[in-house]
Amino acid sequence: MNLLPDLTPKEAVQFQKQLVEMIRSRPLPPPRENLLIAGADCSYEKRATTGYAAIVVCRWPSM
């Protein structure tokens, strides 16, 4: 699945700069007990047959 057209490195940098302008930051609400915080990422190489993925789940506030 290709969600974006092929971009040159220069175009990709420009696109990332546009995306940065969309980020909104605000304070987090007070944490609840046993709140789970998770993050995930994945990557692949176009010329390889292997992909990589990672998921991290932490319990707040004991993380």
Q: Is residue 18 part of a domain?
A: no
Q: Is residue 12 part of a domain?
A: no
Pairing mode, strands 35-44 and 51-60: antiparallel
Q: What are phi and psi of 33, to 5 degrees?
A: -70, 145
Give the model's pLDDT for residue 12.
87
pTM for this predicted structure: 0.47
Give the model's pLDDT for residue 10.
92
Q: Is residue 59 part of a domain?
A: yes
Q: Is residue 14 part of a domain?
A: no
Q: How far apart are CA 2 and CA 44, in angstroms?
A: 13
Tell me which residue range forms the domain holding 50. Answer: 31-63
Give the model's pLDDT for residue 32.
75
**DSSP-H helix ranges across the chain:** 9-20
Percent of the chain with pLDDT over 70: 92
Give the model's pLDDT for residue 1.
52
Place of tokens 């700069």: 17
Instruction: Tell me if 56 sits within 8 A of 39, measured CB to CB.
Output: yes
- Please count the structural domains in the chain: 1
For the chain, list residues with pLDDT below 50.
none
Q: Is residue 46 part of a domain?
A: yes
